[in-house]
Structure 1
Amino acid sequence: MTPAEIQSVMYSTVQPYDVIQAVLQQEIILYCGRLISTNPELFRGILKIRVGWVLEAMKYYLTLFGQEKKLEDHSPYEVRQLLYKVLSIKEWSNTEQLTPRRRRQLEGCLCRVPASFYNQVWDVMTRTPHGIRVAGNVIPQQPTLSNMTKSELTFPLLVEEMLNNIQQPEYRQLTVELLTIVSTILCRNPELTFSQALDLEQLMNDAAHMYVKDHNLQEEEISCLVEIPYVRSTGYLARAVVNTVLKGGQISKNIECGPESCKIS
Structure 2
Amino acid sequence: RQSENLYEQIELLQTLTRMKGLDFNTGFGGPAEEVTVEDLVNEVYEKASLIPQMGGSPLWAVVRHAAGLLNKIDIGLSDAVTDILVRQKQISVGRAYSETSLISRPLPRADIMEKICTLCREDIRDRVLTQEILIYLGLLIKSEPDLFKGLLTLRVGYLILLLTSELAAELGVTQAEAYEQLMHLSPFEIKVRLRQVLAGYEGMNQKLRQQELLHVQQKEQEIEWVVELADDQSEPPATGSWLRKRQLDGALNRVPEGFYPRVWQLLKHCKGLVVGDKLERRNRLDSELLLAEMTSGERNFALQVEHLLNKIDAPEYRQINIEALLELAAIAERNPGLKIEEYIVLDILIGHAVRQAWLENHPEQVDRYDEFKAIAWSSFYQMSPYRVAGYIVKAFRFLTEFGPVSAKTAYTS
Q: Same fold (TM over 0.5)?
A: yes
CA distance in 1: counterparts of 2:238 and 2:329, whole angstroms: 31
Quick one: which of 243, 248, 263 aligns to 1:106?
A: 248
Aligned to 2:216: none
Q: Counterpart amino acid of 1:132? A: L
Give the 3 Å change call, closer, same or farther, for CA 192–94 of structure 1 in structure 2: closer
CA distance in 2: counterparts of 1:226 and 1:197, whole angstroms: 25
CA distance in 2: counterparts of 1:209 and 1:247, whole angstroms: 20
Q: Counterpart amino acid of 2:273? A: I
Q: Would you say the 8 A contact 1:204–1:222 is kept in 2?
A: no
Give the 3 Å change call, closer, same or farther, for CA 230–159 of structure 1 in structure 2: same
CA shift, 1:142, in A, is 2.7
CA shift, 1:208, in A, is 0.8
Quick one: which of 127, 133, 139 aligns to 2:274?
A: 133
CA distance in 2: counterparts of 1:145 and 1:95, whole angstroms: 36
Give the 3 Å change call, closer, same or farther, for CA 139–247 of structure 1 in structure 2: farther
CA shift, 1:244, in A, is 2.4
Q: Counterpart amino acid of 1:112? A: R
Asked if 1:155 corresponds to 2:301, the answer is: yes
Query: Which is higher, the Rg of structure 1 or of structure 2?
Result: 2
> What RMSD over aligned residues (CA atoms) do the two structures have, in Å?
2.5
Aligned to 1:85: none
Quick one: which of 215, 233, 237 aligns to 2:392?
A: 237
Q: What is the aligned-residue identity percentage?
A: 30
Deviations for 1:124-156, whole angstroms, at most 9, x for unmatched residues?
A: 111112x10121211111321111111221111
Q: Which runs of 5+ in 2 are unaligned?
A: 1-18, 21-231, 278-282, 404-413
Q: Counterpart amino acid of 2:274? A: R
Q: Would you say the 8 A contact 1:148–1:155 is kept in 2?
A: yes
Asked if 1:170 corresponds to 2:316, the answer is: yes
Q: Counterpart amino acid of 2:293? A: N
CA shift, 1:224, in A, is 2.8
CA distance in 2: counterparts of 1:189 and 1:160, whole angstroms: 26
Q: Counterpart amino acid of 2:379? A: C
Aligned to 2:339: 193
Quick one: which of 290, 296, 299 aligns to 1:144?
A: 290
Quick one: which of 323, 328, 334 aligns to 1:182?
A: 328
Asked if 1:246 corresponds to 2:388, the answer is: no
CA distance in 2: counterparts of 1:110 and 1:225, whole angstroms: 21
CA distance in 2: counterparts of 1:245 and 1:190, whole angstroms: 16
Give the 3 Å change call, closer, same or farther, for CA 107–95 of structure 1 in structure 2: closer
Q: Would you say the 8 A contact 2:237–2:245 is kept in 1?
A: no
Deviations for 1:142-183, whole angstroms, at most 9, x for unmatched residues?
A: 321111111221111111001111110000000000000001
Q: Counterpart amino acid of 2:247? A: Q
CA distance in 1: counterparts of 2:343 and 2:356, whole angstroms: 21
TM-score by length of 2: 0.36
Deviations for 1:63-104, whole angstroms, at most 9, x for unmatched residues?
A: xxxxxxxxxxxxxxxxxxxxxxxxxxx9xx957552111110
Please list every run of at least 4 consecutive aligned residues from structure 1 whose deviation after the TM superposition is greater than 2 angstroms: 93-97, 220-224, 242-248
TM-score by length of 1: 0.55
Aligned to 1:9: none
Quick one: which of 214, 226, 233 aligns to 2:381?
A: 226
Aligned to 2:354: 208
Aligned to 2:258: 116
Q: Counterpart amino acid of 1:211? A: A
CA shift, 1:229, in A, is 1.6
Q: Which runs of 5+ in 1 are unaligned?
A: 1-11, 14-89, 249-265
Q: Would you say the 8 A contact 2:239–2:245 is kept in 1?
A: no
CA shift, 1:196, in A, is 1.1
Q: Counterpart amino acid of 1:143? A: L
CA shift, 1:246, in A, is 2.8
CA distance in 1: counterparts of 2:338 and 2:347, whole angstroms: 20
Give the 3 Å change call, closer, same or farther, for CA 140–101 of structure 1 in structure 2: same
Give the 3 Å change call, closer, same or farther, for CA 235–95 of structure 1 in structure 2: closer
Aligned to 2:206: none
Q: Would you say the 8 A contact 1:203–1:240 is kept in 2?
A: yes
CA shift, 1:242, in A, is 2.4
Q: Counterpart amino acid of 2:387? A: R
CA distance in 2: counterparts of 1:94 and 1:100, whole angstroms: 7
